Amino acid sequence: MTATGTTIVVPTMGRPSLDVLLEALAGQRHPVDAPIVLVDDRPDGPELELDARGLDVTVVRSGGGGPARARNLGWRRARTPWVSFLDDDVVPDEDWYELLRHDLRTDALGSCGRVRVPLPADRPATDWERGTAGLAGARWITADLSYRREALARVGGFDERFPRAFREDADLALRLGGTLDERSTITTGQRWITHPVRPSDDWASVRQQAGNADDMLMRRLHGPGWQRRADAPVGRRAAHVATTAAGIAAVGALARAVLRRPRRVSRTAAAAAGLWLAGTAEFAWRRIAPGPRDRDEVRRMLLTSLAIPPAATWHTARGLVRHRNATPWRGLPDLVLLDRDGTVVHDVPYNGDPARVTPVDGAKEALDRLRHEGVRVALVTNQSGVARGLITPEQVAAVNGRVAELLGPFDGVYVCPHGPDDGCECRKPGPGLVKQALAEAGVAPARAVLIGDIGSDLAAAEAAGVAGVLVPTRQTLPDEVAAADAVAASLPDAIDAVLRGAW
* Residue 341 annotated to the active site: yes
Q: Catalytic one among 40, 339, 453, 457?
A: 339
Q: Which residues touch 500 (CB under 8 Å, ≥6 apart)?
A: none
Q: Which amino acid is at 366?
A: A
Q: Are 60 and 127 in contact (CB under 8 A)?
A: no
Tell me the three state secondary structure of residue 112.
Answer: strand
Kindly write down the DSSP assignment for every residue of 143-209, as one continuous string: TEEEEEHHHHHHHTSS-TT--SSSSHHHHHHHHTT--TT-TTTEEEEEEEEE-PPPP--TTHHHHGG
Query: Mind spelling out the 3-state secondary structure of 352-383?
Result: CCHHHCCECCCHHHHHHHHHHCCCEEEEEEEC
Q: Which amino acid is at 405?
A: E
Go through the chain and tell me how many residues it has.
503
Distance in angstroms (rounded) separating the CA atoms of residues 474 and 241: 62
H helical segments located in 223-294: 226-230, 237-260, 267-288
Q: Which residues touch 175 (CB under 8 Å, ≥6 apart)?
A: 155, 328, 329
Between strands 335-338 and 448-452, the pairing is parallel
* Residue 339 annotated to the active site: yes
Q: Is the dihedral of CA 132, 136, 139, 145 positive or negative?
A: positive
Q: Catalytic one among 341, 347, 353, 485?
A: 341
Burial zone of 359 (CB within 10 Å; 0-12 exposed, 13-18 middle, 19+ buried):
middle
Tally Cβ neighbours within 10 Å of residue 205.
21
Q: Which residues touch 73 (CB under 8 Å, ≥6 apart)?
A: 37, 39, 60, 62, 372, 373, 374
The candidate with the shortest Cα–Cα distance to 459, out of 382, 404, 344, is: 382
List active site positions.
Answer: 339, 341
